[in-house]
Structure 1
Amino acid sequence: MDQLRSTCTTSYALLFATDCLIKTCTTCCSAQDTIGLFGDLCRLGIVPAAWTCNILLKFAAEGGDSEVVVSAYDQIKEFGLTLDAHALVLITRSLFREKKADKAFQMWVEMIEMGVKPDVIAYSSFITGLCDCGKVDLAYAILQEINREGIQVEDMAYNTVMDGLCKEMRLQEAEMLLENKTRQGLTPDIYGYSYLIRSYGKAGNLLKVLDHYQAMVSHGFETNCHIASYLLQCFMKLGMTSQVTEHFQKLRDSGLHLDGVLYNIAMDAYCKDGNMDEAVKLLREMKAEGLTPDRVHYTCVIKGYCLKGDVPNARQAFEVMLKANVKPDVVTYNILASGFCKNGLVTEVFDLLDHMADRGVAKQGKFVDRFACSKLMNDLCRDGNAQGASTVCSMMLENNVIPDVISYTKLISAYCQTGDMHNALLWFHDMVQRGLSVDVIVYTVLMNGYCKVGQMEEACKLFDQMTSLGIKPDVIAYTMLLDGHLKEYLQRCWQGVSKERRIYVLRTKQNRLLSSMKKMEIKPDVPFYTVLIDGYCKAGDFEKARGEFDEVLQKGLTPDQHVYAALICGYCSQGEIEKAQDLFEEMVDRGIKPHVLAFSVLNQKTLRERQYK
C-alpha cells in the first residue's frame, strides 16, 4: 500500500485498493486488528473514502461491543475523515443496542457538529433507538422539531414514538402526533390506531376506543384479532359482558381469524354472566377450529364454575385440563382451592396442595406461593375455621414460606373469636420470633380477645408491652380497653363487690385511659364516646354521661344511634323518662334512625310509667 501510494497516478485506484484491503481484513482479522491496520494506512497519508469507513464501522458493530465501534470512530475522527449518515446510524445503533442512550445522543450531536447530515433513515433509526431505551420525551421532542423543519421520517419512527407515548398513557400527545403525521402527507397506518385503541381501552374510555376504531375502518383498514381483542377487553373492563359476547359473535360471523386471546375474553364474559354452557361450547369450538386451549382458557372455565358454586363441574374441568396435558399453574390451583374453601371442602384443599407438589408446580421447596396460601388462610379465617387456617400456616412455614403480617393477624383474630387465647398467643409469639413487624392492629386484636374472655389483666399487660416497644396505640385500642373495663365492672356486680367500690375502680381506670390518650395526642371518636357514656350511665353518673355527650356535639362530631341509645337507656334505667323522651325526639329531629334497643327500652318504660299512674 505504501508503494502503491507512491506510484499510483489516480486516486480512484488507491481508494479501491484500500477498500479491498479493509474488506479482506473483515473476513480474516479481528475488529481491533482491522482498526489498527486502518490507522496505519491513514498514517501513510492514505485518505479512505466514506464507504470504506462504513465497512470498518459495520464490522466493528457486528461484534456487539459498542466500545469497539466507538474505538473505530475515534480512529476515523483522529484523521479528520469524512463520515456520512450511514456511519451515524451504525454508531448510534450499536450504542442503543446496549441501552447507552446518553452516549448515543452525545455522539449524534458531535457528528452533526462535524458536518454529518442525517437522512430519513438516520433520523428514523435515532428516534426509534431513543424510544427503545425509554427516552420517549427526547424522541418526541426531536420528532416535533424535524416536523417543523419539514423533514420527513419513516412510518416506523412515528409508530415507535406513538407506542411509547401510549404506554405512558400520554394519549392526547399521541393523537396530536397522528394528526401531525397526516399533515406531513403521510398516510396513517393501522399501527398508530392500534396503539391508541389499546391504551384508551386500558383506560376504560370506550368513546375514544370507538372513535379511533371507526377512523381506522374509514381509512380502509380491516380490523385484526389484536385490535378486536383491545375492543373486547375495554367492554370487559367496563363490565359490559353482553357487548363482549355480541361483538364476538359478529367477529366470528365476519370470517375474521379468531385467536386464543379473543376466545378467552368471550369465555370470561360468559363465565361472569354465569352462562357456563356457552363458555364450554367456546372451549369445544376452539378445538374444532384447530386451536389448542391453554392454561388460561381452562382456568377461566374453572373460575366460572367456582363463581357459581358448582364445585363438581369445576373439579371435572380441572381433570379435563390434566388429561389434555395442560399444566395448571399457581393461579389455577388457587382458584380451585378457593372454590373448595368457600364450600367448606377443607380436606379437598389440602389434597390439592399435595397434588401441586406431586405435579412439580411448587419449586425450590415451596408448596405454593405466598399469595395463594395467604388467600386460602384468609378464606378459612373468614369462615371461622381457625384450625384449618392454622394447618395451612404450618404447611407454609414447613416449606420456608412465611405468611405476611395480615395473614398472621387474621389467624390470631380467628382464634380470639373462638376464645382460644392459648393458640392466639402461640401464633403471636411465632410472628414476633420470625422478625415480622408487629403493629398496633395485631396487638389490638389480641387485647380484644383477652377482654372478651374476661382476662383484663392480660389485656392491660399487652397494652403496656405495646407502648414500651414504641408502638403508638390508636383510638380503637383505647376504645377496646375502655369497653373491657366496663364489662369487668358489670361482671364484678355479681361477685358481691360493693357498688361504691366498683364505681371508684371503673372511674379510676377510665380516667387513666383518658389521661393516656391526652398524653398520646389521640382524639376520641364517636365509638369511644359511646363506650364512655355507656360506662358512666351504668355507674350511675348521669351528669358525667350527659357532659360527655355535650362534648361530642361541641367538638363537631356527629353522634350516631349508638351514642343516643347508650344515654337513653341510662335515663330509662333511672326512671328519668322525660329526659329519655326528649333525647329520643332530638335524635329523630336530627334524622338519625333510632336504635332498636333504645326504642324498645323507652317504650317499655313509658308503658310501665303509665300503668303506675
Structure 2
Amino acid sequence: MILKSNCGMGADTFNVLIDGLFKSEMIEDALNLYDEMTQRRILPTKITYTVVISGMCRAKRTHDAHRMFELMKTRGCQPDSATYNALLDGFCKCGQIDEAFKLFKSFRDDGYNVGIRGFGCLIDGLIKAKRISGAEKLFQQVLDAGLVPDIILYTIMMRGLTELGRMEDATNMLRDMIGKGLLDEARSLELEISQHNQFPNSCTYTILICGLCRNGLLGEAQEIFNGMEKLNCSPSVVTFNALIDGLCKAAKVDEARLMLHKMEIGRNPSLFLRLSQGTDRVLDSASLHKKVETLVESGLIHKAYKLLIQLADSGVVPNIKTYNTLINGMCKDGQVDRALKVFEELKHKGHFPDSVTYATLIEGLQRVDREGDAYKLFKHMNENGCKPSASVYKTLMTWSCRRRKTSVAFGLWLEYLRSLAGREGEALKSTEKYFEKGDFEMAVRSLLEMDMKLVDFDSGPYNIWLVGLCQSNRVDVAIRTFSVLEEFNVVVSAPGCVKLIEALCSEGNLGKAVDVFLYTIERGYKLMPRVCNGLLQRLLGSKERAVVAFELLDKMKSVGYDLNSCVHHNTRFLIRHRYNERKSENVLSAAR
C-alpha cells in the first residue's frame, strides 16, 4: 500500500521493510524490494547492504551474500564492522570454515581488523566443525595479539572443551575468566542475547554444568551450581534440567526431586520468612532447610514438597522437560508409583504431558510387568488429545515382542500407520489381509513396498519384528524376513542380527548364522564376544565346519576385531585342537 501510494519513501523505510521480510524468511520478496529500491533511484546505504548480506547468510545463500559485499565495495560504499562480521558469521554458521578463513585473510588485506567478535565467529565455527585444535590455536593467536577475550569467546571455548569431555581445561578457563573480572562485565552484554539465546554468564555456567554431568562429575557440577549464587548469577531452567538429569542418572532421585522443589520456590531466602507452621516456626532459610531435611529423612517427601510450594510465588518455574527428567529417573529407579504421582501433580499445576512423558511412563510400567496399566495409560493419552508418537508405539511393540506377542506388535504398527494422513489405504488393507492369513513375509513385503516410497522411512518397526520373531522361536519366518529386508536395502540393526544368529545357532542352521555374521561385518558392527564365541565354538565343534571358523577369524581380524581379548579360553582350546588336527593331516598327506 505504501509503495502504491507514491509516498516519499527513503532508504531508512526500505531498510526496515527489507529487514522484516528477511527475518520472516520471505527471501525473494526482500530481494524484489531491494531491486525496487534501486529502480526508484534510491541509493542503498551501508545499512541496506548489511541487512541484505545478513539476510542472505541466514538463508544459507552465502555466495550471493559475498557477491553483494563485492558489489557494495565497487559502488563506493565502504563496509563497516557490522557488514564484515555479518558476512564472516554467515560463512561460519553454514559450516564453510575454509571459505571463512579466506574471507578473514581478505579482510585483513583490506586493512580491516575483525576484532574479538570476528575471532569469536571463526572459533565458534571451528568448534561446531569439531576442529577443536584449530580453535585452540586461534584462541592463542587472540592472546598473542594482545586482544582480551570477552565472556562470549570464553563461553564458546568452554562449550567446545566440555563437548570433548575436557572438563579440567574448561574449569580452568572459567577460573581464568573470573580472575579477569569478566563476570562483573556480563550485564553490559545484554545486546548479545539475540545472537546467543540466553544471558552470557548464565549460559557459561550452564555449559559447564551440562558437560560435568554428562561426564559423570556430579559433585563438581553441584559445586559450580552452588557457586553461581555467590556471584549473583541466576540459574536458568536449562541449568536446573541438566543437574536434575545428572542426579537421576546417578540414582539420586530424592536429591533430584528436592532440586525440582528448589527450582519452584526460587533462590530468594526472604521468601522463606513468610512461612510458619504453628509453634514450629520457620524463621529463615537455615531453619526451613533443616525442616525439609528432617521430613525427607523421615520419608515424608510429599509433605516436604507441600511445605515448599506454599512459597512458590516467584523463581524459575519448572517446564515439562524438567518433569520428564524426574519421571524418567524415578521409572529407571523402579519408583513407578512415585513417577505416576508426579505425573498427576504436573497436570494439577497446569502443565500438559507430552509424548515423551507418556512414553517414559509406559516404558516404566512395562519394566515392572504392569502391562495392563501401560495400555490404560496409552488409552488415556489418546483420550486426552495427545497423539501418540511413533516412539510410543515402538515401546509397546518392543515389550509385546519380549512377551512373544509378535502379532500384537505388528497390529500396533498398522494402527499407527492408519492414524497418519497420506498413507495409502488400499495398500494398508492389502497388508492387513496378508497378516490375517498368517503370511508374515508377504505382509512385510507389502508394507515395505509402501513405506520405501516415503521420505520419512523408519526401519525401527521391522527390526523390532525381527527380534520378536526370534524371541518367539519363529526362526524360519525370521530368516525369510531378514532376506526381504536385505532385498529392500533396509538396514538390520546389530541387536536384530545378534538375536537371529543366536536363534539360528540354537537350531543348528550354522550356514545361515555365518551369512548373518558376515552381514554384520559388512555393516561395520562389532558384536559382543559372547556372540562371536558362541558361533565359533559351534563351527569348531565339527571337523567339516572348522575351516569356516578359521576363515571367519581371518575376516574378523581384518576388520579390526581384537582377537586376543575377544576369543575366550574354551574357543582357543578348540582352535588349537583343530589346528593341530589339520597339521597332522598335512604331515600324513605329505608322507604318502
Aligned with 2:132 (options 241, 251, 254): 241
Within a 5 Å distance, the mapping from 1:531-546 to structure 2 comes to: none
Q: State the match for 2:74 in structure 1.
A: 183
Report the Cα offset of residue 228 of structure 1: 2.5
Report the Cα offset of residue 389 of structure 1: 4.4
Report the Cα offset of residue 452 of structure 1: 4.7
- Residue 18 of structure 2 aligns with an amino acid whose one-letter code is C
Aligned with 1:231 (options 122, 139, 143): 122
Aligned with 2:386 (options 436, 458, 475): 436
Within a 5 Å distance, the mapping from 1:386-425 to structure 2 comes to: 386=336, 389-390=339-340, 392-421=342-371, 423-425=373-375
**Conserved in 1, the CA contact under 8 Å of 2:245 and 2:329?**
yes
Residues 1:282 and 2:189 aligned together: no
Within a 5 Å distance, the mapping from 1:206-285 to structure 2 comes to: 206-272=97-163, 273-274=166-167, 275-285=169-179
Q: State the match for 1:339 in structure 2.
A: 246
How many angstroms apart in 1 are the aligned matches of 2:217 and 2:464?
A: 42
**Conserved in 2, the CA contact under 8 Å of 1:235 and 1:241?**
yes
Report the Cα offset of residue 295 of structure 1: 1.6
Q: State the match for 1:159 in structure 2.
A: 50
Output the aligned Cα RMSD. Answer: 4.7
How many angstroms apart in 1 are the aligned matches of 2:29 and 2:511?
A: 72
**Structure 1 residues 596 and 319, CA gap change in structure 2 (3 angstroms):** same
Q: State the match for 1:369 in structure 2.
A: 319
Report the Cα offset of residue 286 of structure 1: 3.9
Q: Match of 2:185, SS? A: coil
Residues 1:310 and 2:217 aligned together: yes
**Conserved in 2, the CA contact under 8 Å of 1:381 and 1:411?**
yes
Residues 1:131 and 2:24 aligned together: no
Q: State the match for 1:4 in structure 2.
A: none
Report the Cα offset of residue 264 of structure 1: 1.6
Q: Residue by residue, what CA displacement relative to the aligned partner does 1:64-119 show, whole Å, maximum 9, x if unpaired?
A: xxxxxxxxxxxxxxxxxxxxxxxxxxxxxxxxxxxxxxx222124xx6xxxxxx8x
Q: State the match for 2:447 in structure 1.
A: 522
Q: State the match for 2:259 in structure 1.
A: 352
The higher relative CO (CA closer than 8 Å, separation ≥ 6) is in 2
Q: Match of 1:172, SS? A: helix
Within a 5 Å distance, the mapping from 1:46-195 to structure 2 comes to: 103-108=1-6, 124-134=11-21, 137-138=28-29, 140-141=31-32, 143=34, 152-195=43-86
How many angstroms apart in 1 are the aligned matches of 2:258 and 2:104?
A: 49
**Structure 1 residues 271 and 585, CA gap change in structure 2 (3 angstroms):** closer
Q: State the match for 1:291 in structure 2.
A: 185
How many angstroms apart in 2 are the aligned matches of 1:516 and 1:584?
A: 19
**Structure 1 residues 372 and 555, CA gap change in structure 2 (3 angstroms):** closer
Q: State the match for 2:565 in structure 1.
A: none
**Conserved in 1, the CA contact under 8 Å of 2:205 and 2:224?**
yes
Report the Cα offset of residue 356 of structure 1: 0.7
**Conserved in 2, the CA contact under 8 Å of 1:533 and 1:549?**
no
Q: Residue by residue, what CA displacement relative to the aligned partner does 1:559-605 show, whole Å, maximum 9, x if unpaired?
A: 967556545543x4xxxxxxx56656766888789865455456557
Q: Match of 1:107, SS? A: coil
Q: Residue by residue, what CA displacement relative to the aligned partner does 1:19-66 show, whole Å, maximum 9, x if unpaired?
A: xxxxxxxxxxxxxxxxxxxxxxxxxxxxxxxxxxxxxxxxxxxxxxxx
Number of aligned positions between the proteins: 445
- Residue 211 of structure 2 aligns with an amino acid whose one-letter code is G
**Conserved in 1, the CA contact under 8 Å of 2:84 and 2:114?**
no
Report the Cα offset of residue 367 of structure 1: 4.7
How many angstroms apart in 2 are the aligned matches of 1:468 and 1:174?
A: 45
Q: Residue by residue, what CA displacement relative to the aligned partner does 1:320-378 show, whole Å, maximum 9, x if unpaired?
A: 11122222110110111122122221111101000011107987999511123224444
**Conserved in 2, the CA contact under 8 Å of 1:373 and 1:392?**
yes
How many angstroms apart in 1 are the aligned matches of 2:160 and 2:443?
A: 55
How many angstroms apart in 2 are the aligned matches of 1:374 and 1:148?
A: 56
**Conserved in 2, the CA contact under 8 Å of 1:165 and 1:173?**
yes
374-383 vs 258-267, greater mean Cα deviation: 374-383
Q: Match of 2:447, SS? A: coil
TM-score (norm. length: structure 1): 0.59
- Residue 405 of structure 1 aligns with an amino acid whose one-letter code is S
Q: Match of 1:196, SS? A: helix
How many angstroms apart in 2 are the aligned matches of 1:309 and 1:584?
A: 39
**Conserved in 2, the CA contact under 8 Å of 1:267 and 1:282?**
no
383-392 vs 227-236, greater mean Cα deviation: 383-392
**Conserved in 2, the CA contact under 8 Å of 1:530 and 1:566?**
no
Q: Residue by residue, what CA displacement relative to the aligned partner does 1:499-552 show, whole Å, maximum 9, x if unpaired?
A: xxxxxxxxxx997543797499535968757866887878xxx8x999889888
Q: Match of 1:193, SS? A: helix
How many angstroms apart in 2 are the aligned matches of 1:550 and 1:280?
A: 55
How many angstroms apart in 1 are the aligned matches of 2:489 and 2:322?
A: 45
Q: Residue by residue, what CA displacement relative to the aligned partner does 1:142-198 show, whole Å, maximum 9, x if unpaired?
A: 655787999854323222222222222222221111222222233343332211111
Q: Match of 2:255, SS? A: helix
Q: Match of 1:133, SS? A: helix
**Conserved in 1, the CA contact under 8 Å of 2:393 and 2:416?**
no
Larger gyration radius, structure 1 or structure 2: 1
**Conserved in 2, the CA contact under 8 Å of 1:190 and 1:216?**
no
How many angstroms apart in 2 are the aligned matches of 1:447 and 1:314?
A: 38
Q: State the match for 1:199 in structure 2.
A: 90
**Structure 1 residues 465 and 160, CA gap change in structure 2 (3 angstroms):** closer
Identity of counterpart residues, as a percentage?
20
TM-score (norm. length: structure 2): 0.61
How many angstroms apart in 2 are the aligned matches of 1:547 and 1:261?
A: 57
Within a 5 Å distance, the mapping from 1:16-31 to structure 2 comes to: none
How many angstroms apart in 2 are the aligned matches of 1:401 and 1:177?
A: 48
**Structure 1 residues 535 and 296, CA gap change in structure 2 (3 angstroms):** closer
How many angstroms apart in 1 are the aligned matches of 2:480 and 2:120?
A: 64
408-417 vs 560-569, greater mean Cα deviation: 560-569
Q: Match of 1:522, SS? A: helix
**Conserved in 2, the CA contact under 8 Å of 1:295 and 1:328?**
yes
Report the Cα offset of residue 300 of structure 1: 2.6
Report the Cα offset of residue 229 of structure 1: 2.0
Gaps of 5+ in 2: 187-199, 269-311, 421-433, 450-461, 545-592
**Conserved in 1, the CA contact under 8 Å of 2:435 and 2:443?**
no
**Structure 1 residues 240 and 584, CA gap change in structure 2 (3 angstroms):** closer
319-328 vs 295-304, greater mean Cα deviation: 295-304
**Structure 1 residues 128 and 271, CA gap change in structure 2 (3 angstroms):** same
How many angstroms apart in 2 are the aligned matches of 1:410 and 1:105?
A: 55
**Conserved in 2, the CA contact under 8 Å of 1:128 and 1:160?**
yes
**Conserved in 2, the CA contact under 8 Å of 1:440 and 1:471?**
no
- Residue 251 of structure 2 aligns with an amino acid whose one-letter code is G
